[in-house]
Structure 1
């Protein structure tokens, strides 16, 4: 399993979002509060962020625990961004891919992370892998389940699907092929965030018109954090958060279908003045 976080809002140093909060992603690497599977996320980490007037994000990824990288401490202190996606990793199985297996994965304007595990990997997804163009399979950054899930999402994005639909359809397809998989996916373009809650925790913090944070778990004790129900697609911008239920393909009596249209808009109430 892993812990991950995406942010849209005013420019902030990476460290203010990822290191300084009391229960930050940095701390979640060894002391997550709500992680359902695994206890330590020490098999690598990564952060991707967007610079002003550049739609293609930069990334910094390592195969070491985040607390052991002094270069990241310097980077987090001085780099500022209005949008990011970061993750700390607990590998499902041992592998030799190193930092290539650490999220975020990237292509074009997108950053992607997978918190979970594909049941029966790799045999369970062999048919889905065969459905991808050979060049996309040969371009996989790593040989882990998350990299293949990202390839399935990216194939849909390149085919014209909007971001939430690409995540929803991929989750339903993988869940049908590998029942029991945990598929919390997180995707950002720097302007929007899409995510799925499927087998593990997902939360969001919204200040409409200012900032939106989507994370595996709250990084502080702000009472405005809201939990996303399991089997749900989240689509967010800086102004709103939309939640859509996802149907388990085993309950549909047939092959996975597209997720239902957005049915619920949720936004946090304005903060009370601090005293």
Structure 2
């Protein structure tokens, strides 16, 4: 499992979002408060951020624990950004991919992270390899479930799907192949954040003057944090958050609730501010 966080808003130092909060991602690497699977996220970390007017993000990733990297402490103190995606990793299986297996994964303007696991990997998802081109498969950054899920999402983005559909359809496809999969996905292009709550915790903090933060768990005790219900798609900008129930492929209805497959999906809930 992992912990991850994304932010879009006014320009801030990396450290104010990741290190300084009393329960920020830095501390979540050894003392998460809401993690349901695993306890220590010391198998790698990464942060991707958008600088100036460049639409293509920079990344800094390492194979070891975030607390052991003094260079990151310096970067977090001085580097400022209007948007970021960062993660700390608890590897489900051992592997030799080192920092290549650490989120965020990236392509063009996109940054992506997967908090969860796909039981039976790689066999459980082998049938889905045929939906990718040979180039997609050979271009995987790492040989793990998260990198493969990212390849499925990226293929949809490149085919013209918007971020919400790309995540929702990928979750449905993977959950159909591996019903016990945990698929909290997080995606940003530097202007918007798209995420799924599917098997683990997801929260957001948003409002006037603070931008939008979407995270595995709150980084402080601000009462404005809101928890996202399981089986939900979140789409957000600096001024809006929308929550849409996701259909469980095992039941065909939102939230995995037993019932007829043709039940109507509830309308999205929206929060706006200026």
Fold agreement, TM-score > 0.5? yes
Please name the residue that 1:112 is paired with: 112
- Residue 38 and residue 203 in structure 1: after superposition, are their counterparts in 2 closer, same or farther (change >3 A)? same
Tell me the CA shift for residue 263 of structure 1: 1.4
Q: Which runs of 5+ in 2 are unaligned?
A: 254-260
Distance 1:93 1:261 in 2: 37
- Residue 262 and residue 88 in structure 1: after superposition, are their counterparts in 2 closer, same or farther (change >3 A)? farther
- Which segments of structure 1 move beyond 4 Å, counting only runs of 4 or more? 259-262
Please name the residue that 2:232 is paired with: 232
Could you list the per-position Cα deviations for residues 59-96 of structure 1 after superposition, in whole angstroms to 9, with x for gaps in the alignment? 00000000000000000010000000000000010000
Please name the residue that 2:25 is paired with: 25
Distance 1:104 1:133 in 2: 22
Tell me the CA shift for residue 208 of structure 1: 4.0
Please name the residue that 1:173 is paired with: 173
Tell me the CA shift for residue 266 of structure 1: 3.1
Classify the secondary structure of the residue corresponding to 1:153.
Answer: helix
Q: Is the 8 A contact 1:14 1:77 kept in 2?
A: yes
Please name the residue that 1:39 is paired with: 39
2:268 is the counterpart of 1:263: yes
Please name the residue that 2:65 is paired with: 65
Tell me the CA shift for residue 129 of structure 1: 1.3
Could you list the per-position Cα deviations for residues 20-43 of structure 1 after superposition, in whole angstroms to 9, with x for gaps in the alignment? 000010000000000000000000
TM-score (norm: length of structure 1):
0.93
Please name the residue that 1:16 is paired with: 16
Q: CA RMSD in A?
A: 1.9
Please name the residue that 2:256 is paired with: none
Please name the residue that 2:56 is paired with: 56
For structure 1, which segment, 123-132 or 184-193, has the greater mean C-alpha deviation from structure 2 after superposition?
Answer: 123-132
- Residue 90 and residue 17 in structure 1: after superposition, are their counterparts in 2 closer, same or farther (change >3 A)? same
Please name the residue that 2:221 is paired with: 221
For residues 48-197 of structure 1, what are the structure 2 equivalents within 5 Å? 48-197=48-197
Classify the secondary structure of the residue corresponding to 2:27.
Answer: helix
Tell me the CA shift for residue 6 of structure 1: 0.2
Tell me the CA shift for residue 230 of structure 1: 0.1
Q: Which runs of 5+ in 1 are unaligned?
A: 271-275
Classify the secondary structure of the residue corresponding to 2:120.
Answer: coil
Please name the residue that 1:273 is paired with: none
Could you list the per-position Cα deviations for residues 164-210 of structure 1 after superposition, in whole angstroms to 9, with x for gaps in the alignment? 11000000100000010000000000000000000000000001464
- Residue 150 and residue 4 in structure 1: after superposition, are their counterparts in 2 closer, same or farther (change >3 A)? same
Please name the residue that 1:2 is paired with: 2
Distance 1:135 1:260 in 2: 36
- Residue 149 and residue 219 in structure 1: after superposition, are their counterparts in 2 closer, same or farther (change >3 A)? same
Classify the secondary structure of the residue corresponding to 1:129.
Answer: helix
Distance 1:56 1:262 in 2: 34
Distance 1:67 1:263 in 2: 39
Tell me the CA shift for residue 52 of structure 1: 1.0
Classify the secondary structure of the residue corresponding to 1:56.
Answer: coil
Tell me the CA shift for residue 252 of structure 1: 1.9
